[in-house]
């Protein structure tokens, strides 16, 4: 298990805060070992650092009460959504209070005529789309896991649809948030654009709870497409698959999703989901639009695929077949774990300019082989983002060392190519060593913002910035 930094504990303050909040929230404050461990980080190989208590507020006012008490006694506050993050975002390296927002799970308003809605942070993406379906609307950001909207905003999430619909920063109009002193602010309005002052909405999106706790989100919505078609195509090499992606993007084909699976990932997905996909470098695609346009888009990609060496090209508009295919893609992480039962995963999310994608993926495969590491690759390749899912026996120090070496090497390679250490998972604890190399002096200004807004460092401490 990878170790993480520990911060000095404020034992006296923590004891006082737990006592005050217990009196105020009664059974909605829990201190049992099991629930505290569940609210530390458990999704990957980072060490679990659990909080001292977990509290379940039901509205913004209660969140403000909690933060105010913690601020008075200088006790850490860690917001918790669905717990699906991958970089230790919800760990409590100095102890403190985990604020579980799952009970704040109401869709507060849908303005169908304006294509927007207002939700509480505990609403999950699947819950929201179920609510919107009968109005012919949907929210497109799809990170795979059924993450909470608040968590998705806090980590600036994206996913399979980002190539067409953008990321969370492109789909949030406004936020309500509780700041480190307990003050409740609104960052913007429902207007589609504004030039009113600093863009606090985008400051809080991706801040990973280090500047405040998001308690309400106003989202852009989209009309459910008249038709959707999904396609798959095998390729002889990763280079051929990436060339097909580049050509598709350059030709302006409005692809909604375009995903790469390497042969090892396809093998894992076939075994896990009961499919018979060709075990070669594989592209999965989806097209949105009218019935005629999705057929034209699929046909146009088919021609590109044929020119770049693609084989076994198939496409369908059948909803059941499409759902099965994309569920298998979303299950790729769990499928990869079954390649080596008992192993933990260390998952990269580097993102590079699309012209560098094939070179980066090929280099990652070669380096993993040199180090004797099993690391299937999947990627949102329409925007140059891919994941190496490194499978590690965390009880073997030598193997952990090789996995750590691989991740450092890959991350630095991506930065050298003009890319980023994190395309969608965020910094948290796991990516902290790489942020300064990627952004240099800019991290000093990030620290200045953090110090100005949260001078006592109580909001999710030990994340993003050391």
Question: Tell me: the pLDDT tens digits for 248-257?
Answer: 999 999 999 9
Which residue spans within 63-126 are E strands per DSSP?
Answer: 77-80, 97-100, 107-111, 116-119
User: Rounded to an integer, what distance in angstroms lies between the CA atom of residue 263 and that of residue 168?
Assistant: 30
Residue 330: pLDDT over 80? yes
Write down the pLDDT at residue 140: 96
Q: What angle do CA 118, 29, 92 make, to 5 degrees?
A: 80
Say how many CA atoms lie within 13 Å of 386 toward its Cβ. Answer: 35
Residue 455: pLDDT over 70? yes
| Domains contained in the chain, CATH given | 107-223 (3.30.465.10), 227-334 (3.30.70.2190), 336-428 (3.30.70.2740)
User: Rounded to an integer, what distance in angstroms lies between the CA atom of residue 92 and that of residue 7?
Assistant: 9
Among 87, 156, 89, residue whose Cα is nearest residue 434: 87
Beta sheet of 213-220, edge-to-edge order: 107-111, 116-119, 213-220, 172-178, 184-186
Write down the pLDDT at residue 107: 98
Q: What does each C-alpha distance from 284 to 40, 41, 301 come to in angstroms?
A: 34, 31, 11
Residue 200: pLDDT over 90? yes
Q: Tell how far CA 194 is from the center of its chain.
A: 27
User: How do residues 99-123 score in pLDDT, each as one tens digit?
Assistant: 999 999 999 999 999 999 999 999 9
Beta sheet of 77-80, edge-to-edge order: 29-30, 53-55, 97-100, 77-80
Among 64, 67, 35, residue whose Cα is nearest residue 50: 35
Q: Are 243 and 308 in contact (CB under 8 A)?
A: yes
- Residue 385 β-bridge partners: 351, 380
Question: Which DSSP letter does residue 124 get?
Answer: B
Top-ranked range on mean pLDDT: pick from 104-108, 225-229, 342-346? 104-108
User: Rounded to an integer, what distance in angstroms lies between the CA atom of residue 318 and that of residue 124?
Assistant: 26
Write down the pLDDT at residue 3: 55
User: Rounded to an integer, what distance in angstroms lies between the CA atom of residue 130 and that of residue 288?
Assistant: 19
Q: Are 195 and 149 in contact (CB under 8 A)?
A: no
Dihedral sign, Cα of residue 122, residue 126, residue 132, residue 137: positive
Q: Are 137 and 112 in contact (CB under 8 A)?
A: yes
Among 51, 55, 58, residue whose Cα is nearest residue 69: 55
Residue 461: pLDDT over 90? yes
User: How do residues 398-423 score in pLDDT, each as one tens digit?
Assistant: 999 999 999 999 999 999 999 999 99
User: Rounded to an integer, what distance in angstroms lies between the CA atom of residue 197 and that of residue 180?
Assistant: 21
Q: What does the mean pLDDT of the chain come to?
A: 95
Q: Are 7 and 54 in contact (CB under 8 A)?
A: no
Other beta carbons within 10 angstroms of residue 103's beta carbon come to 14
Residue 188: pLDDT over 90? yes
Range scoring the smallest mean pLDDT among 40-44, 294-298, 328-332:
40-44
Q: What does each C-alpha distance from 138 to 213, 215, 220, 287, 312 come to in angstroms?
A: 25, 21, 9, 15, 32
Among 121, 77, 111, 80, residue whose Cα is nearest residue 97: 77
């Amino acid at each position: 298990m990878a170790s993480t930094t520990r911060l000095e504990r404020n034992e006296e303050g923590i004891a006082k805060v737990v006592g005050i909040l217990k009196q105020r929230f009664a059974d909605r404050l829990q201190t049992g070992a099991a629930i505290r461990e569940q609210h530390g980080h458990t999704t990957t190989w980072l060490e679990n650092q659990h909080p001292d208590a977990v509290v379940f507020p039901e509205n913004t006012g209660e969140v403000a009460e909690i933060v105010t008490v913690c601020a008075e006694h200088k006790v850490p506050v860690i917001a918790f959504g669905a717990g699906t993050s991958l970089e230790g975002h919800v760990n409590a390296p100095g102890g403190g209070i985990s604020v579980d927002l799952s009970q704040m799970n109401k869709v507060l308003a849908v303005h169908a005529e304006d294509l927007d809605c207002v939700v509480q942070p505990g609403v999950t993406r699947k819950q929201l789309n179920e609510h919107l379906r009968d109005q012919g609307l949907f929210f497109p950001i799809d990170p795979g896991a059924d993450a909470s909207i608040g968590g998705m905003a806090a980590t600036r999430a994206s996913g399979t649809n980002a190539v067409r619909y953008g990321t969370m920063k492109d789909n949030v109009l406004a936020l309500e948030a509780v700041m480190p002193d307990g003050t409740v602010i609104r960052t913007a309005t429902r207007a589609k654009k504004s030039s009113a002052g600093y863009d606090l909405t985008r400051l809080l999106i991706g801040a990973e709870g280090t500047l405040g706790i998001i308690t309400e989100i106003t989202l852009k919505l989209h009309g459910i497409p008249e038709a959707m078609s999904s396609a798959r195509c095998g390729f002889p090499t990763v280079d051929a698959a990436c060339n097909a992606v580049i050509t598709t993007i350059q030709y302006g084909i409005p692809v909604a999703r375009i995903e790469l699976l390497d042969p090892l990932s396809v093998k894992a997905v076939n075994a896990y989901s009961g499919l018979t996909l060709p075990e070669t470098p594989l592209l999965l695609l989806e097209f949105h639009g009218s019935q005629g346009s999705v057929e034209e888009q699929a046909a146009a990609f088919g021609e590109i695929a044929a020119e770049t060496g693609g084989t076994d090209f198939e496409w369908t508009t059948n909803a059941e077949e499409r759902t099965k295919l994309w569920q298998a893609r979303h299950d790729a992480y769990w499928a990869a774990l079954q390649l080596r039962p008992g192993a933990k995963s260390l998952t990269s999310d580097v993102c590079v300019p699309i012209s560098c994608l094939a070179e980066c993926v090929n280099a990652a495969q070669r380096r993993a082989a040199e180090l004797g590491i099993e690391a299937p690759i999947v990627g949102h390749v329409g925007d140059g983002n891919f994941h190496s899912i490194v499978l590690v026996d965390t009880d073997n120090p030598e193997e952990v060392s090789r996995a750590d070496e691989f991740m450092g090497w890959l991350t630095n390679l991506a930065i050298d190519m003009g890319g980023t250490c994190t395309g969608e998972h965020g910094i948290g604890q796991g990516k902290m060593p790489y942020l300064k190399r990627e952004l240099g002096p800019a991290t000093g200004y990030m620290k200045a913002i953090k110090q100005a807004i949260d001078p006592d460092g109580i909001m999710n401490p030990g994340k993003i910035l050391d």
